[in-house]
Amino acid sequence: MALVEISDVHKSFGALEVLKGVSLDIEKGEIVTIIGKSGSGKSTLLRCINALETINQGEIRFEGQPVSTTMPNLRTMRQKVGIVFQAFNLFAHMTIERNITLAPVLTGKVAKSEARPLALDVLERVGLADKIDAYPEQLSGGQQQRAAIARCLAMAPHLMLFDEVTSALDPELVGEVLRVMEEMARQGMTMVLVTHEMNFARNVATKLIFMHQGRVWEQGNPGELFDNPQTPELKSFIGAAA
């Protein structure tokens, strides 16, 4: 059984059909990158996996359980599926420690006495242990994004979703965030990334998904798809991104 099973998923916003029958599996330990033009449905698919959007047709299963916005254990599922957005979404009035430990303490995952050691541990993993008492405004964009990743790691998720997490960053800050994600990949975290970072997609991912016009157009081994795209659409996309 795959960690995530997506079967014939359709999603519309009013008259606009954004996902047109998407099917794919995500296995435990996989690093899946989703690429494609803007408007191809990439971010919508990611949000459907975490039940941030209601699908119109089809089914998504996480760890064998059907995912929906009305599922009885929605909160439990979301504790297992971390999501990091393009916007860092850190609470400006809270220290980095408090940003990271708020959810684990509120959900009872950790006791208050264990909160600071947990924050230090996850900040260490993203290279920010010295910023534990800082406020978000005192951090660079790259540091804020790494803190947002640490906040997700604090919940010990089984799956992490990344939605264009480097696209709002200055070019010199992109590398520091990608290095953190590469290290997470080496440690075995299952990850799904919507990204324009082609080097990451080619060299770190274990599976590449190319979406086009709301469908999975091609999927497979990243190196093989980059070197030998099977459709003119993927060939054109890779050429434009090079």
Q: pLDDT, tens digit, for every residue of 101-146? A: 999 998 888 999 999 999 999 999 889 999 999 999 999 988 999 9
Within a domain: 83: yes
What pLDDT, on the 0 to 100 scale, is given for residue 242?
66
Within a domain: 138: no
Task: Give me the amino acid identity at 72.
Answer: P
Within a domain: 34: yes
pTM: predicted TM-score of the whole model, two decimal places: 0.91
Q: pLDDT, tens digit, for every residue of 148-195? A: 999 999 998 999 999 988 887 788 788 888 888 888 888 889 999 999
Within a domain: 234: yes
Model confidence at 53, pLDDT cuts 50, 70, 90, reads very high
Percent pLDDT > 90 in the chain is 70
Within a domain: 69: yes
Distance between CA atoms of 87 and 168, rounded to whole angstroms?
Answer: 7
Mean pLDDT of the chain: 92
Task: Give me the amino acid identity at 118.
Answer: L
CA angle (221 as vertex; 219, 222 as ends), nearest 5? 90
49: CATH: 3.40.50.300
Within a domain: 130: no
Within a domain: 142: no
What pLDDT, on the 0 to 100 scale, is given for residue 187?
87
What pLDDT, on the 0 to 100 scale, is given for residue 85?
86
Q: Residue-wise over 26-52: b if at least 16 C-beta within 10 A, else e? A: beeebbbbbbbbeebbbbbbbbbbbbe
Q: Are 96 and 73 in contact (CB under 8 A)?
A: no
Q: Are 136 and 148 in contact (CB under 8 A)?
A: no
Using CA of residue 183, residue 189, residue 190, residue 191, what is the dihedral sign? negative
Can you give the residue range of the structural domain that contains 80? 4-89+157-241
Within a domain: 124: no
Number of domains in the chain: 1
